[in-house]
Structure 1
């Protein structure tokens, strides 16, 4: 691993660590702040199971936004569903990094099994390699 790659990896891990620590610190700060009066976000339910069910249903369907603005609900709900799908697609791509290249034939299976994802010799010419020769 060369110095540039190592530096990039350290910066990435450092940024993610800083972000997570800052988010946790901020949430702990908010939780510890004194409340001047009780604030009810959801209607009271007889037990924690029902409260959890109502909160979960609100998170999935955004019912309070539906009652306020149907156009706003459609825009917000579709945005969040598409964002979740994009994040799921990225997570899948990162989890199978290297394997997708082997399946496309741009890397050898031996390279993937050893974890050398970026130093592989192509099995056959890929469209990108052919386009770069022109």
Structure 2
């Protein structure tokens, strides 16, 4: 299911932030898809094993984000599945400092390689 998050097209810049919980090592790819197109507006890669911020400002103008889709694809492995049984991966959208909403993928740590896929559709208010 795709989560829809509404934003003010005349408001401050949009930002997406990713969180990885549950004692996992994770690498991810983030894609911002153009509205009604196979073209990528943004494509970034990262991981949760460094101090770099896992947040990205969406390209202005803000109104152009209407109908665009955020995709977060994560590959991960639990570091201690015997003691930390659950994981949660979160993609949260902000406008300025205000959270507009989020989507999460949560489940059981298996100790094997796992993957997660989150989609968020952006829609102007």
TM-score (norm 2): 0.18
Give the structure, 1 or 2, with the largest relative contact order (CA under 8 Å, sep 6 or more).
Answer: 2
TM-score by length of 1: 0.17
More helix by share: 1
Larger strand proportion, structure 1 or 2? Answer: 2
